[in-house]
Structure formats: structure tokens, C-alpha cells
Amino acid sequence: MKGHAAKFERKFEEAIAALLTQRNMDEAAKSVGISANTLLSWMKVLEFPKAYREARRAAFQQSIARLQQGTSAAATTLIKLLLDQNTPAAVKARVADSIFNHAAKAIEIEDIEVRVSALEAAAGAEGSKQ
């Protein structure tokens, strides 16, 4: 029975990977060699949706990490557009607005981080008194 269970688990994993890479459920099922109905029934099994969510989250986190790697180049591009005399005024205005919005969000995030740290420290101090 171990062989059958291992094969089933492997098919589960393949189905999750297929759902992440194929255009739709039918194509995902076909690429794994199962029917769409089988895949639908698997999606109702508690372990499958949980594993699928975790896989989607991991894929999304990898995508965000790739985007973050490009932020330096993006910032350089925005600044070049803003300073370039050949950039149309409408583009410069949009770039300037974007820079202000991102800078303001960064300040807000920093402020929130400071407040959360203070709350955590206060909660920790309160917890150690009890």
C-alpha cells in the first residue's frame, strides 16, 4: 500500500504544480493524467486546498522578491524621467506624483513599524510583570 500512497501523493503534488502553471483546471488535470472531475474532487479534500494555498503563497512570495530586486532600477528610471529635459510635462507630473506617493507610503510604514514595536515592547513588559 505504501507504493500506491506514494504515487497518489506524487499525483497530488503534480496537480498542485499544474494548477499553478496551466491556464485552467481542465488543462491542469490533463497535464497530470487525471480527469477534471478527479481534480475537482481532490480540491474538496482538506489537505489539497491547504497545500494548494501554500504553493500559491510561495509562488507569490517568489514573484514579490523578483519585483523587489528591480526596485533600484525602477527608482533610477523614475528619477531619470523626472530630470530629463526631453520628458513631456505630463509624464514628469505623473512621475513626480508617483515618487511622492511612494515616499509617503514609506514614511507611513516606518511610523507603523515604530508604533508596533512600542506596543510589542509594552505588551512584553506587561506580560513579564504578571
Q: Is the pTM of this model over 0.85?
A: no
Residue ranges per structural domain of the chain: 1-69, 70-130
Counting beta carbons within 10 angstroms of the beta carbon of residue 12, is it exposed (0 to 12), middle (13 to 18) or buried (19 or more)? middle
Cβ-based neighbour number of residue 15 at 10 Å? 25
Give 45-77 pLDDT, tens digit per residue. Answer: 878 999 999 999 999 999 999 999 999 999 999
In one-letter notation, the amino acid at residue 105 is K
Which pLDDT score, from 0 to 100, does residue 12 have? 87
